[in-house]
Amino acid sequence: MQPVFLPPLDSPLRFTLEPFETERFANLCGQFDEHLRLIEQRLEVSIRNRGNQFELIGSAENTQSTEQLLKRLWREAEHSELSPERVHLFLQQSELEAPADEPQVSLPTRKGLIRPRGANQQRYVRAILQHDINFGIGPAGTGKTWLAVACAVAALEREQVRRILLVRPAVEAGEKLGFLPGDLAQKIDPYLRPLYDALYEMLGFEKVARLIEKQVIEIAPLAYMRGRTLNHSFIILDESQNCTTEQMKMFLTRIGFGSTAVITGDITQIDLPRGTRSGLVQVSEVLRDVAGISFTHFEPKDVVRHPLVQRIVEAYERHDAASHV
C-alpha cells in the first residue's frame, strides 16, 4: 500500500458561541450533527465541540472560514429553522464571497430584496446594470437566467423599461416540437417554465398574468423577433447556445433605444444539428472586445444548487478535457 501524505495542519482554532441556548444549538448542528458533517466535508476541516465550545482542525485558511461560517449560522439559527439545503447555500456563499473592495449590489422587487451570491453573480448583475448588451455563459445552476429575470423585474418596477420580452430558440435536446399541439408560440411555452417560475416568485402569479395579458410581459420564440425593433424593453434570450450564427446576429440587431438585452447559455449543452455552429460560441469571439457589451463567464464552483450538481458539472468538464487530449 502506498503511503498517504497529508498536508501539515496548523494549530487548532478554538472559539465559543454565545449566548448558549439549547434549541438554537440543536438548530445549528442539525439532526445527528448533519450540518456540522456537511461543513466538515465541504471545507475540509475537523469540527470538535463540547457544547458551544468548538475546536477546528485543518489549514489556517479553512479553519478561519469555518469559524466565520459557524458564527454566521449561529446568528441565523436564532431566528429561523436551518436545513441541510440552507446550510449548503450558506457554504456556497462563504466560498464565493466577493472581494471586500467591490461594491455589493442588490435588486429591489415587489417580493423583497434580491442579493446575488458570490463574486461572479455580483459582477454579472453589476454588468447588466451598466451595459446595454450582456452575456452570461456557464453551466446550469449558476443563476444566469434567474438573475437576468430579477434585473428585468427591477427595471420594470423602476419604470426604466416599458416591457419585458422573454425569448428562446425552438430547439430542444432530443425533442421534436412538431409533435406538440398548437402553434410555435404554444409549442415552446412549456420550455419557458424556468422564466415563468422566476417571474411568479418575484411578482406573484396574478400580477404576471395581468402583465402578460396587457403584453407588458411577452414570451416569444426567437423566430418571431425577425423584423422587429425593440425600444425601451428588457429582453432576455435564454438557452442561446441553440441559436445559429445567423439567428444570433438577427437578435442582436433588434436592440433599440432604451433597451437592455441579456443573453444566457451553456456552450457545453448545444442541441443544434451536427455541423451547425452555435451563435453563442461565435459571438464570444466576434464581440468580446466591443465597447458597451459585457461577458460574464460562470464556472462549476458558481453552482448554487444541490452540491451534487456542482460535482456532476465538474466531472463532465474533466471527461471532456481528457477526451480532447
Least confident of 63-67, 112-116, 184-188, 202-206: 184-188
Spatial distance between the Cα atoms of 317 and 34, rounded to a whole number of angstroms:
29
The CATH number assigned to the domain holding 139 equals 3.40.50.300
Query: Each residue of 245-304: pLDDT tens digit?
Result: 999 999 999 999 999 999 999 998 888 888 899 999 999 999 988 988 999 999 877 776
Split into its structural domains, the chain has a count of 2
Regarding whether 180 and 299 lie in a shared domain, the answer is yes
Question: How far apart are alpha carbons 310 and 301 in whole angstroms?
Answer: 7
What is the domain range of residue 138?
A: 107-323
What's the whole-number average pLDDT of the chain?
A: 83
What pLDDT, on a 0 to 100 scale, did the predictor assign at position 54?
Answer: 95
Q: Taking 60 as the threshold, does the pLDDT of residue 325 lie above it?
A: no
Which position has the grid cell 439532526? 31
Q: Smallest Cα–Cα separation from 157: which of 114, 192, 195?
A: 114
On the question of pLDDT at 188 being above 70, the answer is no
Query: What are the CA-CA distances from residue 210 to residues 170, 186, 202, 203, 224 (Å)?
Result: 25, 18, 14, 11, 22
Judge whether 311 and 150 are in contact, CB under 8 Å.
Answer: no
Is cis: bond before 3, omega within 30 of 0?
no
One domain, residues 261 and 166: yes
What's the pTM? 0.68
pLDDT confidence of residue 3: 45
Domain stops at, among 60, 95, 130: 95
Q: From CA 270, how far away is CA 282, in angstroms rounded? A: 13
Contact 96, 47 (CB under 8 A): no
Q: Which residues pair with 234 in a beta bridge?
A: 164, 260
Domain boundary among 26, 61, 95: 95
